[in-house]
Amino acid sequence: MKIASFNINGIKARIEALPRWLEAARPDVVCLQEIKSQDESFPRELFEDMGYRVETHGQKSFNGVAILSKLPLEDVTRGLPGDEGDEQARWIEATVIGARAVRVCGLYLPNGNPAPGPKFDYKLGWMARMEARVKALLSTEEPVIFLGDYNVIPQPQDAAKPEAWVEDALFRPESRAAFRRLVNLGLTDAIRTLDPRPGIYTFWDYQANSWERGNGIRIDHLLLSPQAADLLEEAGIDKDTRAGDKPSDHVPVWVDLAA
């Protein structure tokens, strides 16, 4: 089962690029972030015609997450538990029914800038709520994958120029510590487990020729429960989409599970 994550930075902007990547990469399941579309405005028919089931958790102009799946989906839920007043569309879950059922949690974690400040407080609070949800799902002892745009640079090796990010919410000690707490619950960072080398990035800012200069960061992550890690066969990053026509500032990350 090939499961991917892709922050597309607007479904309208990526309406041609996303189908091209889907046809080339052929993932079974894709978690999308920043669809920037309400549910009723998402072009679901386009992806249904490609054989995907479509589940969205949209928001007008901002945020928004979705799951596209060629396999049956069960128990779809929207929104991260722990704050009924949180109206930001950043979390969607579903169980994918393959040879082995896998719970897939697609997330778009808050950016948190400027930090310190209310937005940074919201980021850390959101991460604490995610930690509670991870604990709950780990207690099921079933394969679970938490994938998406985490807006966290875990280690200096995850940035071409870590010194430039020292005061940024993505790299502040509090964000990195919260990410470590997630991993320390027993999750496996699929990309780092299979390829520990520096220079692996998933995001290049549109400005200052970041792509051309190789000035990237790794903020899109695939974290696997122990049961999912036991099924891990391969993981990777599709950098070619960043060099294509009208690219997102992120590239897809993916994992192959024996499920």
Active site residues: 108, 149
Which residues have a Cβ under 8 Å from the Cβ of 30 and sit 6 or more positions away? Answer: 3, 4, 5, 6, 22, 52, 67, 68, 69, 252
What does the alpha-carbon distance between residue 149 and residue 156 come to, in Å, rounded to a whole number?
18
CB half-sphere exposure, 149, CA atoms < 13 A: 28
What does the alpha-carbon distance between residue 201 and residue 215 come to, in Å, rounded to a whole number?
9
C-alpha distances (whole Å) from 55 to each of 27, 115, 118, 190 are 16, 33, 31, 25
What does the alpha-carbon distance between residue 107 and residue 13 come to, in Å, rounded to a whole number?
20
| Residue 185 neighbours by CB distance under 10 Å | 15
